[in-house]
Amino acid sequence: MFSKTDFWIGLAVGAVAGIFGYKFFKERDEQMGMIAAPEIPLAELQRQKEELEDLIAAQQAREQK
């Protein structure tokens, strides 16, 4: 049914595909790690929060008119 040559070719193709897949996912994981966890100072986050709360209050005031 299958010859030894077919087995070794299939094994080699599978190994190469596995190596490329591992490399692809490893690079993707590293890129996601850089994007997912930025270091923003707490003071900056609080400033942005206050600005957003002011914008929300202004929008709500316009809608109530």
Residue 23 is predicted with a pLDDT of 93
pLDDT surpasses 90 at 4: no
**pTM recorded for the entire structure:** 0.43
Domain containing residue 39: 4-64
Write out the DSSP string of 2-65: --HHHHHHHHHHHHHHHHHHHHHHHHHHHHHHHHH-----HHHHHHHHHHHHHHHHHHHHHHH-
Give me the number of domains the chain comprises: 1
Tens-place pLDDT, residues 13-42:
999 999 999 999 888 887 776 665 568 889
**CA–CA–CA angle 53, 55, 57 (5° rounding):** 70
Residue 38: how many CB atoms within 10 A of its CB?
A: 6
